[in-house]
Chains A and B, each alone.
Chain A
Amino acid sequence: MTEATTEMYVLHVNGETREVRDAAPGESLLFVLRERLGLMGAKGACEQGECGSCSVLVDESLVCSCLVLAASAVGRRIVTVEGIAPPGAPTDVQQAFVDAGAVQCGFCTPGLVMATHSLLERVAEPTELEIREELSGNICRCTGYGRIIDAVQRVAVARRGGGA
């Protein structure tokens, strides 16, 4: 049994070991990532799991980091949008979002990129309905979703080896 106290605990984030010291009780993983570890990719908006802009992978499972008690994630592998590709070398999903015009204000984009990676890991060639259902936990107030769905489909086609 592991025990994390608020004085000090250790998280595994993007392949690195990060110490969290003197945390307040009840801090969410989103808060710790942004305010203590300086990782600003996951966005905070609703703080109740509705908007998906804080989506990260915890042990390869897509979750809302605002609903994860940070100290309970000790020993788990946490991946944020900063951890999926080095700066300047976007993943195929990130590049497809750019190419398809799936980004407007960009606030929801890190969460949608994480959700798209998670979806395409599990379903290589999702139907439009599957894409809509799988991305239903990520709210975008700019795009109307059409170009986001286009971006996801572009990645699926490219990974299959097809043309654009």
Chain B
Amino acid sequence: MKSQINEINRNIYDIKNKDEYDFKIKKGLTPEIINEISNQKSDPDWMREFRLKALEVYNRLELPTWGPDLSELDMSEIATYVRPKTKLNNSWEDVPEDIKNTFDRLGIPEAEKASLAGVGAQYDSEVVYHSMKEDLIKQGVIYTDMETALRDYPDLVKEHFMKCVPVHDHKFVALHGAVWSGGSFVYVPKNVKVDIPLQSYFRLNSPESGQFEHTLIIVDEGASLHFIEGCSAPKYNKVNLHAGCVELYVKDNAYLRYSTIENWSKNMLNLNTKKAIVGKNAGMDWVSGSFGSKISMLYPMSILNGDGAKTEYTGISFAGAGQNLDNGFKVVHNAKNTSSVVNAKSISKNGGICTYRSLVRVNENAKNSKCTVSCESLMLDDISRSDTIPTNEIRTDEIEFSHEAKIGKISDKTIFYLMSRGLSEEDAKAMIVRGFAYPISKELPVEYAVEMNNLINLELEGSIG
């Protein structure tokens, strides 16, 4: 199991496999290319049309005028579809060796044995492995790749696909609609409680390419699920793009916990979109660790549509040299007695930039609702940056709302105190940072919490200047 590895080597993320593939589409973004993706994927007609319309929307929409500068992104230099040289397998033994070795190094098959009820693994544009425990299949739980879902459950997919996140939301959602490939589909039937997490892992190996996986989860009335998503890529010199889309439907009295550890390489533009629609007395919890990427713009959103719906966001970002992580959370209170709790932390060092950007909207009908936001940032030196940019739109008086933000530095006194107890300066800083991150890391699945601590130690190695 991953949690038994004491020392982590960043190299495991950076090991590149040869850029071997079954099919790689030519770079760029034209109707011909979209048609070719549709051919390659044997899309039904409605999906082909959907893709082409999304491309039109993409061409119409402008880049965001706020946030990090995305001008270096040149879609004519990105291949949007790379099919690995294997089909979907349900046994690791059938996965080609170099691809299997990649997931072995990331600890996925071991974690599957030790602590997961099901696993999906995507390599470049397609899912190469999917499996779930027998008893969940018997209870009617569906956990498969999106392509299989589109074929086997066309009505369920058509009813929900890009309805929660419509293609007009922003430019990169439209892009996603045009070129999406892979991802996971989960359906948990009414009143079924999935006690052990499901996990999908997304690995992008191919240089100058993009990953556009689509995750669609429906947790039916009274059901519950914990879903974990992990992602990483080796580092290349030119930018890679990730524009995934996550749509979550949490029906009345249901519960979903969605945990993410994102460790993309530092040439990645992570422009991901995640949204949940939460029903009556239902609960939606987001746990998010953001470590990688050159630029990240990621603002998971909960729409509290049912009376008594609840949501919590617990997130941490860690930006080092050359990283601009613009992350945050959006919530819409759209019914009575709804509640939201935000606990966001960020760490920046060596010139890294962390921004917490958020939206809280409380509609007139959301009487007797409650929203508590707390943001805390830690800067490890004078050249790093940290910003908090909250937007609050409150349209009713009958609400409890609080927002608290703190920005801090590690004091020399604290370092001296810890050094007087035998810790080196590096150890002392790492301990302070781990402690700062602890309220978040304790919410992560245990092997990810261990990994996060290892990443913190790694990031702080040699950072004393």
A binds B: no
Q: Please give the residue numbers on chain A whose beta carbons come within 8 Å of chain B beta carbons, in ascending order.
A: none
Q: Please give the residue numbers on chain B whose beta carbons come within 8 Å of chain A beta carbons, in ascending order.
A: none
